Amino acid sequence: MNIRETLISALAATLLGITCAQAADVAVEAPPEAPLPTSEWTFSVAPYFWGAGLQGDVGLFGREPVDIDMSFGDIFDNLRFGGMVVAEATNGTWGLVADIIYVKIEDDESVTRTVGGIPLTLAGSVETSSLTATFMGEYRAIAQPTATLDLMAGARIWSVDNDIELSLAAGGPPLAAFSGSDGSTWVDPVIGLKGRYDINASWYLTGWGIIGGFGAGSDITWDVLGGVGYQWNERFSFVAGYRALGVDYEDDGFVYDVIQHGPILGTVIRF
């Protein structure tokens, strides 16, 4: 081996040694694998508008139930206050959801008839307030990039109160008057499913189905919602759809066997 070959061999051995040393350093200094990220809780609030009408039978003071068929327009004309909101907290596997609806309506009517030449006026007012509050736990049974399905179980609280005032007058102070209140508060166990399917990055389908009562409070209650959502950004989305809610309850002369249904429109705020 001549001097040139000797130098080349020495240089190659040196480079090989440096390369091996660098590889060893990298292997020793490589950081350990990062732990799997833990699921964080996220929260959402969704105030919404529900243009629901009311159909069914309502009985007060032990009287024969009266058939009710009120469109949303009829209810809106007599609406004094209304508020609806859904709130949810979830960590991706477990969650809590609450749906609260409160409506207060008031109607005043009077009828005048002439009896024996004397005008008699029968005036009446009815004030009805109803609260429906649903609280449920959630478990995410299906979690796909574009689809989720949650199993739900919990309770729905109902509180319905009716205040009635009647008076009979003949052009002066009331000749007779009556006032009274009738209603009830009860709790229904409920179970259900809630899902979402992303059509694309902006549009999605959402809905739930709930059933309960089972004779513990009402004979049965059910709730079906379906909607189309638009994801404005990570924090805001908008939902439009249709909802129907029914309940069949009777206790101590009070009957509340009704179905509420109509379009919904809401905003979902996540944080």
In this structure, the answer to whether residues 8 and 96 fall within a common structural domain is no
pLDDT of residue 6: 42
Query: Residue 166 domain-assigned?
Result: no
Q: What does the alpha-carbon distance between residue 70 and residue 60 come to, in Å, rounded to a whole number?
A: 17
Task: Give tens-digit pLDDT for 221-245.
Answer: 999 999 999 999 999 999 999 999 9
Q: How many domains does the chain have?
A: 2
Query: Residue 180 domain-assigned?
Result: no
User: Mean of the pLDDT values across residues 93-115?
Assistant: 88
Task: Give tens-digit pLDDT for 144-195.
Answer: 999 999 999 999 999 999 988 877 777 777 777 777 899 999 999 999 999 9
Give me the domain span that covers residue 105.
39-112+127-155+187-270
Residues 260 and 52 sit within 8 Å (Cβ to Cβ):
yes
Task: Give tens-digit pLDDT for 35-94.
Answer: 334 479 999 999 999 999 999 999 998 888 989 899 999 888 888 889 999 999 999 999
Query: Residue 246 domain-assigned?
Result: yes
Query: pLDDT tier at 119 (50, 70, 90 boundaries)?
Result: confident
Output the DSSP codes for 58-78: EE-TTPPPEEEEE-HHHHHHT
In this structure, the answer to whether residues 209 and 140 fall within a common structural domain is yes
**What CATH number is given to the structural domain containing 150?**
2.40.128.100
Between residues 224 and 30, which one has the greater pLDDT? 224
In this structure, the answer to whether residues 196 and 230 fall within a common structural domain is yes
Query: Residue 107 domain-assigned?
Result: yes
Which amino acid does the sequence have at 43? F
Between residues 120 and 248, which one has the greater pLDDT? 248
